[in-house]
């Protein structure tokens, strides 16, 4: 069962690790999601102009039944602000894609990255086409570019012609993908990924045949 972030906040506050942070960029014991989105006024922060969540590669073509990997990358730009938590909510079309594990079997979780080792929520729903991932760190706060998590998919077998489908971030109040620093939201941009299902995907190898002219 998903642990409500509010309950986590209450427990950590009771344990004395939910202390406030100064605008200098120091971190509390645990990054707790504030009750309202865009709570920048609490520490005088504004959205980090380079902070983002990106799915990569941005586009790839695979054959039905093949496996593919998408990496969720986080970035913190300028001014340099380290992140201490990520909340990622993704939507995909279960008609075309299925989350799997390293062996290729259907899975209900994705693979967390090393930067946020304390995982609160890790859920993949192959029926609904939804992924929820929430995690944080209390040390070695990442900045720059870093891997938040990795998703393995299987392209479902179909007799369809080449079809394009998206894996996209869910943003907005009530289910917002974001990076956090000391309880403040940082995210300025997201970038989705597209997957093209083609029974005859390009191999990346081109063969040039000589032209023979008859005289």
In a domain, 165, yes or no: yes
Range of the domain at 163: 5-185
Structurally, how many domains does the chain consist of?
1
Domain CATH for 136 = 2.60.40.680
In a domain, 109, yes or no: yes
In a domain, 211, yes or no: no
pLDDT digits (tens, 9 = 90+) for 153-176: 999 987 777 889 999 999 765 568
Q: How far apart are CA 61 and CA 200, in angstroms?
A: 9
pTM of the model: 0.73
In a domain, 193, yes or no: no
pLDDT at 211: 58
Q: In this structure, what token pair is assigned to residue 200?
A: 């005859």
pLDDT at 214: 64
Q: Return the percentage of the chain with pLDDT > 70, whole number.
A: 68
Higher pLDDT: 26 or 202? It is 202
- The sign of the CA dihedral 51, 40, 132, 19 is positive
Going from the C-alpha of 170 to that of each of 80, 151, 167, 176, the distances in angstroms are 25, 16, 10, 6
pLDDT at 213: 59
pLDDT digits (tens, 9 = 90+) for 38-59: 333 334 445 556 789 999 999 9
pLDDT at 193: 98
């Amino acid at each position: 069962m998903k642990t409500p972030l509010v309950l986590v906040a209450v427990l950590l506050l009771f344990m004395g690790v939910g202390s406030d942070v100064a605008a200098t960029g120091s971190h509390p014991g645990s990054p707790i999601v504030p009750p309202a989105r865009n709570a920048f006024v609490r520490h005088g922060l504004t959205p980090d102009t380079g902070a983002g969540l990106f799915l990569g590669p941005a586009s790839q073509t695979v054959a039905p039944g093949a496996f593919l990997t998408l990496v969720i990358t986080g970035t913190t730009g300028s001014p340099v602000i380290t992140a201490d938590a990520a909340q990622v909510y993704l939507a995909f079309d279960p008609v075309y894609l299925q989350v799997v594990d390293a062996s290729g079997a259907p899975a209900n979780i994705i693979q967390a990255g090393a930067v946020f080792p304390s995982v609160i929520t890790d859920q993949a729903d192959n029926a609904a086409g939804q992924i929820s991932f929430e995690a944080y760190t209390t040390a070695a706060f990442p900045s720059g570019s870093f891997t938040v998590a990795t998703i393995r998919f299987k392209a479902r077998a179909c007799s369809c012609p080449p079809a394009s489908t998206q894996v996209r971030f869910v943003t907005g109040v009530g289910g917002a993908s974001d990076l956090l620093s000391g309880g403040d939201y940082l995210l300025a941009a997201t970038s989705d990924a597209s997957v093209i299902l083609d029974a005859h995907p390009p191999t990346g190898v081109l063969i040039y045949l000589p032209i023979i002219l008859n005289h």
